């Protein structure tokens, strides 16, 4: 395996979603009862803040875990760094960043509550650096919290996580989860909604939207309008999301960060591999991607293992650059799953 740094820089396409205010879909709010209703925000104890996150049923959008469990676990150790994930390094997606841009007070309050639980040595908000298409400068601070701009080749998110201080118990929480924590503390409000970027050339009014959890992709596209029938709809990130074939039955959840609808008249036809090696150069893990794809298609799993297929992080960069429009990442991820399944069955 090669140790050269590889990867690609992606065109971000964050506008006009990031400039526009979040569009909120009409919804009924839900509230919870707690044993300390009159406690002032500044007097809330560490245990009470964890309890608020539990009662509000907050799911962290960055990893799908319950926020209260993360906070409780992390509060037991010494925390070096608290990182607020607003990186959004995939094209189109800005749902986490938009919290810092449009609702900075709520974000700052959520972080302050988290800090009280964790007593970190350092706290910062992480945002992606190479965004050149926005009509304003991303903030350098949100309240008293510094915004660290994470640069470099895609995917910045996983690389940022790798650079956490070693040997210490650092914590990463999503910016949307911080907003929900602030609402729980101020209003006793449950998390019943999620923040989603709706974009793509088939969308009439590309926006960041706040919609109830469980809304269908079809309803979300109706909210923003379509210019024409999309050829492709993706739920999640534009690189790591999955194709939606039945938008009327596809429900969004706390970790759905985007809905992308594209009508570009590109052919869905794929071609044979031309051996150009672009996938090898794009891979941030420096894997021999073209060889892995061949082995995966032939289901030669023993050989695939030797090429470190298990190290694939599913970032989608190889599919993005492939001129033959082969979904290289999907082939490798599928083979990786088959290998894991075979390993588990072998253990049983």
Residues near ligand SF4 (CB under 6 A) are 273-279, 282-283, 285, 287, 289-290, 293, 312-318, 321-324, 326, 328-329, 332
* CB 94, min distance to ligand SF4, A: 22
* CB 307, min distance to ligand SF4, A: 10
Backbone φ and ψ for 67, nearest 5 degrees, come out as -60, -40
C-alpha closest to that of 175 among 65, 62, 63: 62
Q: Residue ranges of the alpha helices (H) in the chain?
A: 46-55, 67-75, 97-102, 104-118, 156-162, 175-187, 217-224, 278-282, 289-297, 301-306, 317-321, 328-347
* CB 22, min distance to ligand SF4, A: 30
Q: Which is nearer to ligand SF4, 98 or 319 (CB)?
A: 319
Q: Which is nearer to ligand SF4, 51 or 89 (CB)?
A: 89
* CB 337, min distance to ligand SF4, A: 13
Q: Which is nearer to ligand SF4, 194 or 315 (CB)?
A: 315
Per DSSP bridges, beta strands 81-86 and 122-128 are parallel
How big, in percent rounded to 5, are the helix, strand and coil portions of the chain?
Answer: 35, 20, 50
User: Which SS3 state, helix, strand or coil, does residue 211 take?
Assistant: strand
* CB 157, min distance to ligand SF4, A: 12
Query: Residue 174 to residues 37, 71, 199, 254, 338: CA-CA distances in angstroms?
Result: 26, 12, 21, 11, 31
Q: Which is nearer to ligand SF4, 236 or 316 (CB)?
A: 316
* CB 133, min distance to ligand SF4, A: 24
Residue for token pair 């970032």 = 315
Q: Which is nearer to ligand SF4, 1 or 24 (CB)?
A: 1
* CB 89, min distance to ligand SF4, A: 13
Strands of 193-199's sheet in order across = 23-24, 207-212, 193-199, 258-262, 232-235, 242-243
Residue for token pair 């990186």 = 87
Q: Which is nearer to ligand SF4, 91 or 254 (CB)?
A: 91
Q: Which is nearer to ligand SF4, 223 or 324 (CB)?
A: 324
Which 8-state DSSP code applies to residue 309?
G
* CB 294, min distance to ligand SF4, A: 9
User: Which SS3 state, helix, strand or coil, does residue 36 take?
Assistant: coil
Tokens standing for 22? 């979040």
CA pair distance 198, 206, nearest whole angstrom:
5
Q: Which is nearer to ligand SF4, 263 or 273 (CB)?
A: 273
* CB 313, min distance to ligand SF4, A: 5
Q: Which is nearer to ligand SF4, 93 or 332 (CB)?
A: 332
Burial of 148 (0-12, 13-18, 19+ CB in 10 A): middle
Distant-in-sequence, close-in-space partners of 307: CB < 8 Å, separation ≥ 6: 287, 288, 291, 292, 295
């Amino acid at each position: 395996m090669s140790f050269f740094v590889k990867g690609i820089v992606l065109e971000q396409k964050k506008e006009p979603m990031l400039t526009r205010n979040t569009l909120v879909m009409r919804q009924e709010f839900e509230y919870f009862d707690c044993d300390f209703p009159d406690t002032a925000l500044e007097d809330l104890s560490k245990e009470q803040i964890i309890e608020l996150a539990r009662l509000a049923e907050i799911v962290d959008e960055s990893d799908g875990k319950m926020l209260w469990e993360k906070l409780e676990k992390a509060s037991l150790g010494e925390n070096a760094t608290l990182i607020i994930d607003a990186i959004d390094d995939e094209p189109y997606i800005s749902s986490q960043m938009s919290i810092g841009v449009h609702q900075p007070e709520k974000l700052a309050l959520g972080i302050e509550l988290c800090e009280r639980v964790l007593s970190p040595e350092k706290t910062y908000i992480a945002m992606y650096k190479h965004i050149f298409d926005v009509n304003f400068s991303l903030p350098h601070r949100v309240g008293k919290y510094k915004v660290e701009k994470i640069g470099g080749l895609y995917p910045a998110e996983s690389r940022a996580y790798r650079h956490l201080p070693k040997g210490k118990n650092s914590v990463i929480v999503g910016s949307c989860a911080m907003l929900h924590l602030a609402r729980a503390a101020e209003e006793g409000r449950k998390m019943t909604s999620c923040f989603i970027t709706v974009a793509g050339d088939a969308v009439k009014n590309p926006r960041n939207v706040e919609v109830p959890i469980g809304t269908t992709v079809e309803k979300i596209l109706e909210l923003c309008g379509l210019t024409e029938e999309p050829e492709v709809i993706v739920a999640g990130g534009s690189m790591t999301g999955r194709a939606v074939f039945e938008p009327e039955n596809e429900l969004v959840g706390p970790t759905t960060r985007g809905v992308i609808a594209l009508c570009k008249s590109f052919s869905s036809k794929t071609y044979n591999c031309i051996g150009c090696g672009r996938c090898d150069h794009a891979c941030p893990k420096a894997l021999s991607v073209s060889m892995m794809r061949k082995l995966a298609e032939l289901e030669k799993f023993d050989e695939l293992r030797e090429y470190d297929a298990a190290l694939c992080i599913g970032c989608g960069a190889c599919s993005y650059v492939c001129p033959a429009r082969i979904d290289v990442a999907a082939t490798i991820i599928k083979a990786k799953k088959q290998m894991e399944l075979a390993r588990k069955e072998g253990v049983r």
